[in-house]
Structure formats: structure tokens, C-alpha cells
Structure 1
Amino acid sequence: MKAAVIHEFGPPEVLRIEDAATPQPAAGEVLVRVRAVRVGGLLDIGTRAGRNPFARLTFPHILGADFAGEVVEGGEGFSPGERIAGVPFIPCGHCQACSMGRDDACPNAQLVGVHRQGSYAEYVSVPAKIVRRIPPSIGYEQAAALALSGPVAVTQFGVAGLRKGDWVVVTAAASGLGLVTSLVAQALGARVIACSRKEWKREILRGHGFEAVLNTDDDGFVDQVKELTTGRGVAIAIDNTASTSMFAKLCAVLDRLGVIVCSGALAAETVPLDMRSLYLKSQSVIGIRTHTQASLDGFWRMVQDGIETRIDRSFPLDDVAEAHRYVEAEKNFGRVLLTID
């Protein structure tokens, strides 16, 4: 099969298109003909460059985390020809976190494309428990763009206790995760304040019908949020950056009983925490590493009701190095994908 393979860590040029052996599915796995795969920051680019602290791999290695395609060899309830989307996170199913239904915190989890061969290839074999059928209303590229971020967002709001009508602020709302998080919050009935530091991205965000689109670098950001929420602040703040200045602003706009959700904070700074405010206002700060298995089902039910994210650009697998350079240059608004014909 055709695959994008790395034999060492390094720049995009270490990605080579080669002929690799088609994987053979083990018990409990399905073999998938990959049609689209997301180009991600940490799991793909970070792993390729040797910056991913989770990476435990042997060379030659195939990257590729979340993907979409059709089942070739079924099992575990899946039949050949079914259209599916897959996520990279494989919980052990046996630890305390998994037994509590919080498998997002599984300490023994493996990641497709990081700990095992990934989906930058014509075929990938993965455990059946991490794939879900996709509705006929969406194509493979849209499914791959939503596959991981959507369930993560559902987990974020489920753990944080989102209620219909709650005010939610989302930082980095123009990122792949941030946009889907904002769209999921909107679909769940929240009043969303989407934030971006770049005006051209804020202009695109305004087209999604959010309650407000703000610049977190604006000196009046806190006052603007307070004005929108009639002085109360937000019920939930989604923080995908965890910078010192940003975290302080989120604390300042958090309502009583409010929750700050931290995701994607591996490169984060150490931030100050106002313990007095947490105590007096019964506020919380929680970390959400990824999605739960239950959120996979919940999210794909939502997709049937019309959630769709923005795809910035798709590259053929042969242009994988160019795709990595494009994402590293931060030229995109929305997901960047590889397509495999």
C-alpha cells in the first residue's frame, strides 16, 4: 500500500511516500481503507519533529491520527463497505478512570499514529471501539475534520455541566479545535463568545452566528464580556492556550459556579490562580485531555442534526510535506486534510 513514512525525526522533508505492507487486523480490530485524514499539530507535526512527549515509536513509522474511510475487513459489528470515522485515542478499558466512564483520563491509553502505525496510508487497522459510522449527509473530508474535535468538545461541556442558555467563551476559536468547540456549544444551546487575536479570522467567525466575536488582546476584553453577560460573566470558559495573560482574563470573566476547562495545554505556561475567587464564588478549573468513549456516540448523533466545520484546504497524500509546512506556517483557518484516492 502507499503510505507517508518517516525514518527519523525532523522537518517536513523526512516524510517519504513509500510502499508499505498492508496491516493485518488483530482480534477486535477493523481494517479501513482511508479516504481522508487530518493534519494535526501535536499528534502529527509534533511527533514528526520529535516534540511530542507522548511519542513512543519505532522507525519506520506512519503518522496519522483521526481519519475517515470505509471498512474493508469488518468485525465487532462492522461490515465491509460501511463508512466510518476514527479517532486516535485507545483507552485500556480496565483502569479506574475507564471503569468510571472517564476513559479520557486513562493512563494506559495508546494513540494511533503515535504509539502505533497511523492513517497516512491507504489502509489502517484500528480497534473497532474507536470508530463510528458516519451519516450519509457528510463526506469523508468533513468526517475526518470532525472526528476528534467534536467528541472532545462534547466531553468538555459534559464534564463542565453546560446548560442551555449558558454563556460560554472560547479562546482560539479560529483553531481547528476551537471552532468545533464553539459550534458544539452553539448546537447545545449555549450563548457563545468566540475569540481570536487576528482580525481576518474574527471576520470569518462572525459568519457563524455566534453571540459575539472578540479579541482577547483588546484592553477592554473583560469589560466587553461583562457587558454582554449583564455583569455576571460566563458559566464556562474553554481555554486552549493557557497563557498567563489569557488565563487571568478568563478568571476575571468567570461567573459564580463557573468552570474553566483547560485543553491542549502541553506547551502552556505556569499560570496564577486566584484561590480567593475560587473559594468565594465556588468556581472550578478542570483539565480535559481528550474525549470519552460515550462522547463519540453523542457527537455523531449531533452531526445528523447538521453540525459542519470549516475545511481550509485538502492536499493529496503525495503532497504531505507541503501540507505539514502549510500548517506549521499557521496559514489555515479550519482543518487541513490529506486525501487518499
Structure 2
Amino acid sequence: MSAKHRRRARRGARPVKAVLLTGFGSPDVLRAGELPTPEPGPEEVRVRVRAVAVARTKDVATRAGRPPFGPLIRRFPHVLGTEHAGVVDAAGPGVSPALVGRRVGVSAILPCRECRACRRGREEACPSLGLIGVHRPGSYAEYCVAPATGVHVLPDDVSDPEAASLAANGPVARAQLDAGDVREGSTVLVVGASGSLGSTVAALAAYRGATVIGVGRASRRPDGLTGLPIAAALDATADLADHIREATDGEGVDCVIDNLGVPALWKAYRPALATMGRIVVSGAIEHDPVPLQLLPFYLRSQSLIGVRTGNRRQIAALWQDVRTGFRPPPSHLHQLPWTDAPLAHRQIEDGTAHGQTILEIP
């Protein structure tokens, strides 16, 4: 470790600013405060945070104390904030000092690296999978510590808000499209395409050369699909399957990416899945069971696949996509000052936000 690096690593005394979760409740429980500067441990880096992605489940639901992550928070104040972007400020033992000063996008997943799933490169299935911002202090702060394996150096032409959005949504979007076998020439229906993950899925599918049909909930935000690279924008109506068939010349779609899991929507689009089609799910915002009939699945060689998040292979592949030109849709990036974290949570909660909300730390 160089002398310059050692000096950087000893900056732990001064307090740093953070947005603190002071208890479960409304967005008003998010309050400005200070914490000691975190120090990177072995195989870790400290990142000077510039942009943080705000997530519905990992941030908003957790702040309210709701499952799956709310019950895991047992000490307050706590710092929320999962995927983020910034500049490496210090490197712990075992990490190359060459990373210091580099702009990076940061993954929030914390696999155990020892279980059967991790040994097979399937970290998304790790039974002990943790998250920055849930199982340890997060990135609603000036500084955040993360495993060095979870940071990826950014191309110069990728902005900090873009990088935070890509880190948050890109790996799972890639995992979903891989699971759905979406490639050039495929037709894919993205349910909830106006959301942070859905808009990234739609953009990445189009980047692969697929024909994308987006479905939004018109009652929530009529203009939510504007600006996405989609061939057709449909409303979540009872005759949705008819409109899907019309948009696909009667063939139906090869793949459905469903990040909502709303029973009424499932019933509406399910008849329009093509033979050999795949439904990929990564969300269930209402937690209600969907009506599942097995007969069509085996008679038409269809599949239902659950995707939790991206693994290290998909994370690396996502950043390779970024290096070759993939970017999140600009119209679906919405920046707020990090002091407006309560407002960001409120907008996501009441349905007035669409796309990815980013908190910027100057």
C-alpha cells in the first residue's frame, strides 16, 4: 500500500453526512444526520457516492418496515441505499491501489461465496445473500464501503446517474432476458414497462434486436411508456391478449417479462403467450396468488421461470453491454438532490414516479 493510499485510508475520524432511517414509518422518518466515515476492510473499497438508485422494494418498502427486507433491520439509525455510483476513495487490504480515483458502478449483492450456489456461479440463489443498504450500511451517504468484486470501472461517457441506474436494473434485466431466451427476432412483452426495472428490460431487449411490446397501468401514469424503444404501447385492459395478438400478427409473444405479478394482468396476457413461450417473473407487488393452470404449459411447451437478481456472470456481461453502447432510456432517469430522499420515496409510493429515480450527492 502506498503512502498516499495509507493517508486516504486513515480518514475515518471526521463525520460524514447521511440520510438516516430513524425508524419505520412514512417518508418523514428519513432525516439528515452524520456518521463516522466507514473504513474498508480486506477485499473492500470505500466509494465517495455521487448517485444512488432508489428502489421500490429495497428502499421504499424497507423504510416502511414491510417484507422482505424491513424485518431484517433491527438497529436504528440505519442507512438505506443499495446500488450506486461514485469514485473509489480508499482500498482495503488485498485490493489494488490502482482502483483509487476510478469512477465505478457498485453492485449491492453480498453473496456468501461458500455455499453450493455460489460455488457454481449462481450467487442469485445464495440462501445467505445479503444486500448493501439492508444487511449493512448503504449508500444514502457521502461514503459507502463495498466488496471490491462488486465494483465495475465506468466508461468515461457514462454519467453517474446512468451508472447507478445500470447497476440497479441492468444485471436483473439481463438475467430475465437470458432466462426468457430473448434474442434478435424475438417478441417480448414487458409488463410494468414504465417502472425502473421494466424500462431497462425494454431498452435492453430492443438493444438485442427484439421486438418489444410495453404494458403500463394507464390509471397510474398515462405517459409512462413515452420514450421507450417499443413497437407497441398497450394498456392493462381485460382484452389485452387480443391487442397482443394484433400487434404480433396473431402469433403471440415469445416471452413475457412480468415485474408486477398482478393477478388481473396475468389473466389478461396469459392467453397471448406463443407456443414454446416463456414467462419470466421477478416481482409480486400485490402478493396475491395468480390463477395457474398447468395444462397449457405442457400442451404448448411453455415455461414459467423466476429470476431473483443477476449473478456475477450476468453483472459482468451487463457492463460489457454498456461498454459496447447500451444505455438506460434517458426519458426514464429522474434525478433529485439526495436531501429530497423523502420526496423520492413519496413519489414512488403514490405512483407519480416512473422510470428510475436517482438521488444525486454533489
**TM-score over 0.5 for the pair:** yes
Q: Which one of the candidate residues 103, 107, 115 is aligned to 1:83?
A: 103
Corresponding residue for 2:356?
335
SS in 2 for 1:157: helix
Q: Which one of the candidate residues 57, 63, 66 is aligned to 1:51?
A: 66
Q: Which one of the candidate residues 24, 37, 50 is aligned to 1:22?
A: 37
Do structure 1's residue 112 and structure 2's residue 132 form an aligned pair? yes
- Kindly state the Cα deviation for residue 204 of structure 1 after the two structures are TM-superposed: 5.5
Q: Tell me how large the CA RMSD over aligned residues is.
A: 1.8
Distance (Å, rounded) in 2 between the aligned partners of 1:203 and 1:243: 20
Q: Which stretch shifts more, 199-208 or 99-108?
A: 199-208
- Kindly state the Cα deviation for residue 66 of structure 1 after the two structures are TM-superposed: 1.0
Do structure 1's residue 284 and structure 2's residue 299 form an aligned pair? no
- Kindly state the Cα deviation for residue 246 of structure 1 after the two structures are TM-superposed: 1.2
Could you report, residue by residue, the CA deviation over 1:63-117 in whole angstroms, capped at 9, with x for unpaired residues?
Answer: 1111100001136345111111112211122222222322111111111111110
Corresponding residue for 2:157?
137
Corresponding residue for 2:338?
317
**For the structure 1 residues 267 and 224, does the alpha-carbon distance in structure 2 shift closer, same or farther, using more than 3 Å as the test?**
closer
Corresponding residue for 2:53?
38
Do structure 1's residue 98 and structure 2's residue 113 form an aligned pair? no
Q: Which one of the candidate residues 222, 225, 242 is aligned to 2:261?
A: 242
Structure 2: tracts of 5 or more residues without a match: 1-15
Distance (Å, rounded) in 1 between the aligned partners of 2:227 and 2:219: 13
Q: Which one of the candidate residues 252, 259, 262 is aligned to 1:233?
A: 252
Name the amino acid aligned to 2:37.
Answer: T
The 5-angstrom pairing of residues 139-288 of structure 1 reads 139-198=159-218, 201=221, 203=223, 205-217=225-237, 219-265=238-284, 267-288=286-307
Q: Is the 8 A contact 1:39 1:64 kept in 2?
A: yes
Distance (Å, rounded) in 2 between the aligned partners of 1:175 and 1:144: 15
Q: Which one of the candidate residues 71, 87, 102 is aligned to 2:88?
A: 71
- Kindly state the Cα deviation for residue 133 of structure 1 after the two structures are TM-superposed: 1.3
- Kindly state the Cα deviation for residue 214 of structure 1 after the two structures are TM-superposed: 0.8
Name the amino acid aligned to 2:275.
Answer: R
**Scaled by the length of structure 1, what TM-score is found?**
0.94
Q: Which one of the candidate residues 9, 13, 17 is aligned to 2:28?
A: 13
- Kindly state the Cα deviation for residue 183 of structure 1 after the two structures are TM-superposed: 0.4
**For the structure 1 residues 41 and 287, does the alpha-carbon distance in structure 2 shift closer, same or farther, using more than 3 Å as the test?**
same
Q: Is the 8 A contact 1:239 1:263 kept in 2?
A: yes
- Kindly state the Cα deviation for residue 174 of structure 1 after the two structures are TM-superposed: 0.4
SS in 1 for 2:99: coil
Corresponding residue for 2:3?
none
**For the structure 1 residues 96 and 201, does the alpha-carbon distance in structure 2 shift closer, same or farther, using more than 3 Å as the test?**
same
- Kindly state the Cα deviation for residue 324 of structure 1 after the two structures are TM-superposed: 1.9
Name the amino acid aligned to 2:174.
Answer: V
- Kindly state the Cα deviation for residue 252 of structure 1 after the two structures are TM-superposed: 0.7
Distance (Å, rounded) in 2 between the aligned partners of 1:76 and 1:249: 51
Q: Is the 8 A contact 1:257 1:283 kept in 2?
A: yes
SS in 2 for 1:186: helix
- Kindly state the Cα deviation for residue 51 of structure 1 after the two structures are TM-superposed: 0.7
Distance (Å, rounded) in 1 between the aligned partners of 2:67 and 2:104: 27
Structure 1: tracts of 5 or more residues without a match: none
SS in 1 for 2:310: coil
Q: Which stretch shifts more, 257-266 or 113-122?
A: 257-266
**Scaled by the length of structure 2, what TM-score is found?**
0.89
Q: Equivalent pairs: percent with the same residue?
A: 38
Q: Which stretch shifts more, 176-185 or 89-98?
A: 89-98
Q: Is the 8 A contact 1:187 1:307 kept in 2?
A: no
Could you report, residue by residue, the CA deviation over 1:162-181 in whole angstroms, capped at 9, with x for unpaired residues?
Answer: 23111100011001111001
SS in 2 for 1:270: coil
Name the amino acid aligned to 2:281.
Answer: C
Q: Is the 8 A contact 2:47 2:145 kept in 1?
A: yes
Distance (Å, rounded) in 1 between the aligned partners of 2:240 and 2:312: 36
Distance (Å, rounded) in 1 between the aligned partners of 2:340 and 2:228: 31
